[in-house]
Amino acid sequence: MQKATFAGGCFWCMVTPFEEQPGIGGIVSGYTGGHVENPTYEEVKTGTTGHYEVVEITFDPQLFPYERLLELYWQQIDPTDDGGQFHDRGSQYRTAIFYHDEAQEKLALEAKEKVVASGKFQKPIVTEILPAQTFYPAEEYHQGYHKKNKDDYKADRAKSGRDEFIGQHWNGE
């Protein structure tokens, strides 16, 4: 099993696309990339800790290769938005791929170049490719939030504009 770490805005919305895929051993919502040890959600959401909201995915590369995770990741985000994602604004909601080794870095850079070359976007691709840093799991109530709080999750996702963006830019992939 290997790890993949992706920042794509609200971590609740980044769980569902991956959780039902073959070879996914688990997904943990959390924080990485900041300067505060063991940050809380309340601290991270202020945008002052430097952390990104992320999902850390444990996967079997034989069943679901990293390249496929990357393809799925790009289709969940607006890679041109450096101020957050959809209705979630602030540095904690920026997009980034946190690589765990040189192979992941190489594949992530190649995947980013593929998005650039696709011509889907008029603005520059701002999603960063960064080395993995200490990962801090989010509080328990954030884990599996979309299942524990179905109505709240659906309402939040519906008003975010994420699904409309995905439909406009990525459907058919």
> Whole-angstrom Cα distance, residue 146 to residue 134?
25
| CB 51 within 8 Å of CB 63 | no
10 in active site: yes
Q: Which of 4, 7, 10, 24 is catalytic?
A: 10
Please give the Cα distance from 1 to 101 (Å, whole number).
Answer: 14
- The token duo for 28 is 């943990």
Tokens of residue 165, six digits: 């963006």
Residues 134/100, Cβ–Cβ less than 8 Å: no
Catalytic site residues? 10
